[in-house]
A and B are shown apart, each in its own frame.
Chain A
Amino acid sequence: MNKYRRLIILGIVLAVLVAARFPAHKYFRKHVDWVTAVDDHPLNCLPCHLYREADGPFSGLLNEDYLSPYNLTLSGDGHSLYIIAQDGNSLLIADTRTGKIISEIPVGERPHTVLLSKDEKTAYVSNQWSDYISVIDLGTQKIVDSLKGGNGPAGLTITPDGKFIYAVNSYSSNISVFDLETGKEVRRLRAGNNPVAAGISPRGDQVYVTSRRTVPVPYGDPPRTELTVANTISKRVDDRVLFESAYIMENVDVTPSGDLAIATLIRPKNLIPAIQVEKGWMMTHGIGIIERKENGRTIQLLLDEPGSYYPDPFDIEVGPTGKFAYVSHSGVDAVSIVDLDEIRTLIAGSTQEELDRYSNHLGISSRYVRGRMKTGANPKGLAVSPDGRTLYVAERLEDRVSVYDLEKQELVGSIDLGGPKRISYARQGRRVFNNASHTFQNQYACYTCHPDAHEDGLVYNMAASQMGRNLANVQTLRDIGQIPPYKWNGKNQTIYKQDGMRFSTVLTRTESFSYDDLDALVAYIVTGIKNPPNYRYNPYGELTAAQKRGKEIYYRTHDNFGNEIPEGNRCYTCHPPPYFTNLQMVDVGTLSETDDPMLLDVPQLNNIHESAPYLHDGRAATLEELWTTYNDHDEHGVGNDMTKMQLNDLVAYLKSLRDASYYEPIDPEVYQASVGNKQEKKNKNED
């Protein structure tokens, strides 16, 4: 940006500030009051009109390109630390002896996990948003090949013989088995819902794959989340261990002796009226354990304490002796030290009934949590040195890896990844979003119900009026800056209001965000949350035949019998591109007996395939059910005339919808004319 241009910008800013201070103060005050829904927010134009710039002239000045370390892997000798830079789209290699980054290798978009070959000459990096695995020759530090399996590759593990990689496909919910001799995918196994990480038993006979979202359960049942156990001999699934009332199982590790497989998890309380936070009434966090033996049990134990919670457990690493495990808590910037021998004793001496009780016991952690180590912002991946004395922690929102002495439980150093030192407004907001300190007793963060700033697939009883009424399906936060109002009932005209005082009264139940934090949080939500590419259903914008047919149905004006569909009952009327919402409040006949009378905010449809269940209360488990089960009277669009094939086509089209940046607004009249002239391609939609 040249100097002249900067001066113009500065001049504009100064002019606005002067205007706000003097002649237009009243107007600005009124405007800010409306936006923030309070009357004491500082009269500051910048948070909304400058820091929320996702692109444009200011964004380059205001925002930074951070690295965001995510997952870690150590070389066998402990001298090389391989660091996934999630936002930097690169693999960083650090020398642990000097604490310096020695190389950076660009990879695909949104890398997730790095895995070393057995001879450590090759690194494999899963690129979650690019849909392939980079194969890197560590000698030349060049990408030499790629492995293509399912969608959203995330966790990786390798068999002890070094011949097969098991890659977890987080978006297509399966596991690709790659033969490294041929580089081909030889098997694809179904995993849990939104699987993310893999761990392998010491003998290499079984691979454990975590998942984050519940498997389909009857409406109103607690979530059940699968830990998939794949057999590396048969290359089939041995078991699907369901963890009752748990979800968001991020990572898993198996003890060196192979007696326990342990995964992090969250135990939500979504079915209980959200009337208090005290006593673990909203969220609890812990680990899930599988006893790896005949008739072994499945156990859940909390890492929380009655007056203090340790939300968003992410990584778990078992030390080389198998006596301790380390768990990073992304929501409270801490690592827990877990005494596994004590857990073994506890399990061995407990009946199943007692263990079931412990799964909800907030005090039991005092038996096996041996310490908590404070970390920098948003700790994610962990790595333990081969001698078990050192722990490396990827501090995602610090652009730093911290180094801890595990005997002293002390921070002894850090590895600066070389990212920007300035914390941008959006970055500060992302820290606020990920940190649970804004919730009473740190019980949960925004991230907890909105993992990856999306949604967690659960329906909560927010008990806005009476307990048991007005169930709410969690909504995504991806790219919502332009689509007010917010909440299903549309009561919040801005994100400021959504996250303001009432938010703290009914949800976080502690002091509301400071205005500085609130400004930053809004800046992050508006600018920093994007939809992942829709590689699964629409990778390149070329619709399939079924999707094209579905699009015709989506934009149809007449039903199968030739009757004109009233304008208000056509799909595109309420769901026009680019966000596929008209931002209006409607009644489409979907309120249930437990709902108070209200209108509903028309939801956006971008990447809708990732947002099951559907409807404001999550009654529809699939898109199909919207029309097969919950649209008896054609109030939610005319659909009862559709054949099953047409419905499948419509669903195929809906699943193809991707980020709003691929679409342009549509003028119904122009569109109608184009349809009449069979010129459907007039607007910029895919095909």
Chain B
Amino acid sequence: MLFSCGDKSIEGLVVFTGIPSGEVEESLAPEHPMTHYEKGVLYAVNPDDPGSSPNMLTGEFAAAATPAVSHCGAWLFFSAKKDKGSPWQIWRMDTRSGKSFQVTSFSEDCMFPVWHPAGRVIFSRSQADGTMNLYSCDLSGENVSQITFHPHRDIAAGMMYDGRILVNSMQTHPMAGAARFIVMRQDGTKAELFHQGEGSLVPVPVFSESTEGEVIFIEASRPGGLGGSLARVHQNRPLYTYEPLQVSGTFNKVLRTVSGSYLVSSTENGKGSYGISLTDLDPGVPGTLVFRQEGLHAIQPVLIEARQRVRKLPSAVMADSETGLLMCQDIKETMLPPPEGSETSTDAAAIRIVFIDGTTHDIPAEADGSVYMELTADKAFQIYTLDHQGNVIQGPSSWIWLRPNERRGCVGCHADPELAPHNRVPFAVKNPPVSVPASGDNTREGVKP
């Protein structure tokens, strides 16, 4: 299916989603607040001609949102509804010709496109149970591959320069969890926590990384609003470098451009319409206005330009494998204090694996605390540590999954995430791995609050 926006090139232009400012609260897509607006339209505006009128790009769609640009600047991706009743799908637009092509064709919503450096697109696909996992496919929508496998709402925030996907992830089952950033390789392996929101702040799925490794993102004080405040972490030490940015305004998007300035969508004090400007994020220096129009929130801006491609990470996933390997060097290694009244965590003698389907396995640790397991792949599970009597010391962990043929190691259970392993042979790897299969069905018996 092909749509045209007039065969006009949009190279060098700023593309944004425009929504009527008076109807925001009423018109937000209920399942996808802040991002997908049932009357959203993509516009293009020339940043060098701030007074010019925006050019509508998606007039033939019932709704459009979340534009994203390929690294080469040749493709504009966005999520759109062709008709009001149809699901959101991923589309791509040739930035030279303005022609659009449908990428995904699922019965569920497919949203939040992000360019994958191997010439694919990453997107979130809704499930009937309210979860939303990441997938990727090629530009024709073929060769779909699932990336995440846990009961979360995952939204790809973007690609980091080291090639990993930064994902805004919020647990949905067995109960709603806090939104946080997790990071993983392009094939969904080695997923780990990147940044946990502070208190009630919710990191929203937009971020911008500088070549120096500074990651700026937006936090909202509540879900559902259009914007929030700016904060940053350093990608080299994200768990301990959180810092709110002292830049006034409420922000919907921040994007570092190739020139080094930031393209932002913001409004002063949360009042009035969101406009777009280029800024250095220096509190004392006003930015350059690109577009602002009363009555229209200009959000989710992107600049159509080529930029440094993030790395293509090789994949360890083998489709013909049904399992992955997990090795923990010492289950006694933990930074968590033991629960009140329980034994110390150093008494951990075994771990319990509970798959999302309820299958449970207790695996005793070797004398050095190591365990080595072969688990069913692409199936979420949680880990508990047990004492010698089988009592739970810590747990459950966050949901974890292994991809087929993924081989993953950890220093301990809830170990200091900045701790590198001790250089010693884990006793457990001197023997074959303990087989830890899931039941094979897709129930969620193991999901207990």
Residues of A within 8 A of B (CB): 220, 222-223, 245, 267-273, 275-276, 278-281, 284, 302, 305-308, 357, 360-364, 366, 440-441, 461, 463, 466-468, 501, 504-505, 509-512, 594
A505 / chain B contacts, CB cutoff of 8 Å? 314-316
* In contact, A220 and B237 (Cβ under 8 angstroms): no
Closest to A275 in B: B407
Given contacts A308-B213, A467-B372, A509-B313, contact A279 B423 (CB under 8 A): no
* In contact, B313 and A360 (Cβ under 8 angstroms): no
* Least distance between A291 CB and chain B CB atoms (Å): 23
- Out of B235, B325, B420, name the residue touching A307 (CB < 8 Å): B235
CA distance A355 to B132 in the complex (A): 43
* In contact, A362 and B190 (Cβ under 8 angstroms): no
* Least distance between A276 CB and chain B CB atoms (Å): 6
* Least distance between B411 CB and chain A CB atoms (Å): 7
B419 / chain A contacts, CB cutoff of 8 Å? 279, 357, 360-362
Closest to B190 in A: A278
* Least distance between B184 CB and chain A CB atoms (Å): 10
0/1 per residue, B409-441, Cβ < 8 Å to A? 111000011111111111001111100000000
A357 / chain B contacts, CB cutoff of 8 Å? 419
CA distance A496 to B425 in the complex (A): 32
A284 / chain B contacts, CB cutoff of 8 Å? 420
> Within residues 87 to 116 of chain B, which ones have a CB less than 8 A from any CB in chain A?
none
* In contact, A307 and B423 (Cβ under 8 angstroms): no
Most buried by A among B237, B418, B419, B431: B418
> Taking chain B's interface residues, is the majority helix, strand, or loop, or is none over half, making it mixed?
loop
- Out of B162, B192, B315, B425, name the residue touching A220 (CB < 8 Å): B425
CA distance A279 to B164 in the complex (A): 14
Given contacts A366-B240, A504-B314, contact A306 B418 (CB under 8 A): yes
A272 / chain B contacts, CB cutoff of 8 Å? 329, 409, 421, 423-426
B410 / chain A contacts, CB cutoff of 8 Å? 279
* In contact, A279 and B411 (Cβ under 8 angstroms): yes
* In contact, A440 and B313 (Cβ under 8 angstroms): yes
- Out of A278, A440, A512, name the residue touching B192 (CB < 8 Å): A278
* In contact, A276 and B418 (Cβ under 8 angstroms): no
* In contact, A512 and B418 (Cβ under 8 angstroms): no
* In contact, B423 and A501 (Cβ under 8 angstroms): no
Closest to A502 in B: B314
CA distance A223 to B424 in the complex (A): 10
* In contact, B408 and A276 (Cβ under 8 angstroms): yes
* In contact, B409 and A273 (Cβ under 8 angstroms): yes
Given contacts A307-B236, A307-B238, A361-B419, contact A510 B313 (CB under 8 A): yes
CA distance A2 to B162 in the complex (A): 49
- Out of B315, B327, B418, B423, name the residue touching A467 (CB < 8 Å): B327
CA distance A505 to B315 in the complex (A): 7
* Least distance between A142 CB and chain B CB atoms (Å): 49
- Out of A302, A306, A463, A511, name the residue touching B163 (CB < 8 Å): A511
> Within residues 230 to 266 of chain B, which ones have a CB less than 8 A from any CB in chain A?
235-241
CA distance A259 to B426 in the complex (A): 37
Whether, in the assembled complex, B361 has its beta carbon less than 8 Å from a beta carbon of chain A, the answer is: no
- Out of B236, B417, B433, name the residue touching A466 (CB < 8 Å): B433
CA distance A49 to B238 in the complex (A): 47
Whether, in the assembled complex, B444 has its beta carbon less than 8 Å from a beta carbon of chain A, the answer is: no
* Least distance between A507 CB and chain B CB atoms (Å): 10
If A279-B420, A361-B419, A468-B425 are given as contacts, then 14 extra A-B residue pairs at C-beta distance below 8 Å, sorted by A number, are A273-B429, A276-B409, A279-B417, A307-B238, A366-B241, A466-B325, A466-B433, A467-B327, A505-B314, A505-B316, A509-B313, A509-B314, A511-B311, A594-B430
B372 / chain A contacts, CB cutoff of 8 Å? 467-468
0/1 per residue, B289-331, Cβ < 8 Å to A? 0000000000000000000000111111000000001010100
A269 / chain B contacts, CB cutoff of 8 Å? 420-421, 423
* In contact, B163 and A360 (Cβ under 8 angstroms): no
Closest to B424 in A: A271
CA distance A267 to B421 in the complex (A): 10
* In contact, B430 and A512 (Cβ under 8 angstroms): no
* In contact, A307 and B213 (Cβ under 8 angstroms): yes
B424 / chain A contacts, CB cutoff of 8 Å? 222, 271-272
* In contact, A468 and B429 (Cβ under 8 angstroms): yes
Closest to A278 in B: B190
Most buried by A among B213, B236, B237, B315: B236
CA distance A278 to B407 in the complex (A): 12
Closest to A246 in B: B423
Closest to A512 in B: B314
Most buried by B among A223, A440, A501: A440
* Least distance between A266 CB and chain B CB atoms (Å): 11
* In contact, B314 and A501 (Cβ under 8 angstroms): yes
- Out of A271, A302, A467, A504, name the residue touching B325 (CB < 8 Å): A467
* Least distance between A272 CB and chain B CB atoms (Å): 5
B239 / chain A contacts, CB cutoff of 8 Å? 306
- Out of B192, B316, B418, name the residue touching A362 (CB < 8 Å): B418
B417 / chain A contacts, CB cutoff of 8 Å? 279, 306
B190 / chain A contacts, CB cutoff of 8 Å? 276, 278
CA distance A220 to B423 in the complex (A): 10
CA distance A505 to B416 in the complex (A): 27
> Within residues 375 to 427 of chain B, which ones have a CB less than 8 A from any CB in chain A?
407-411, 416-426
CA distance A546 to B423 in the complex (A): 41
* Least distance between B395 CB and chain A CB atoms (Å): 21
* In contact, A361 and B418 (Cβ under 8 angstroms): yes
* In contact, B407 and A360 (Cβ under 8 angstroms): no
* In contact, B236 and A273 (Cβ under 8 angstroms): no
CA distance A276 to B410 in the complex (A): 10
* In contact, A361 and B162 (Cβ under 8 angstroms): no
* In contact, B409 and A245 (Cβ under 8 angstroms): no
A360 / chain B contacts, CB cutoff of 8 Å? 419-422
CA distance A468 to B428 in the complex (A): 9
B409 / chain A contacts, CB cutoff of 8 Å? 272-273, 275-276, 281
Those 5 A-B pairs whose CB atoms lie nearest each other, nearest first: A280-B420, A468-B429, A363-B418, A275-B407, A305-B236
Closest to A365 in B: B237
B313 / chain A contacts, CB cutoff of 8 Å? 440, 509-511
- 12 example contacts (A-B, Cβ-Cβ < 8 A) are as follows A272-B423, A272-B424, A272-B425, A272-B426, A275-B409, A279-B411, A306-B239, A361-B416, A361-B420, A463-B407, A501-B314, A510-B162
* In contact, A222 and B314 (Cβ under 8 angstroms): no
CA distance A271 to B421 in the complex (A): 10
Given contacts A468-B430, A504-B314, A509-B313, contact A281 B421 (CB under 8 A): yes
CA distance A270 to B421 in the complex (A): 11
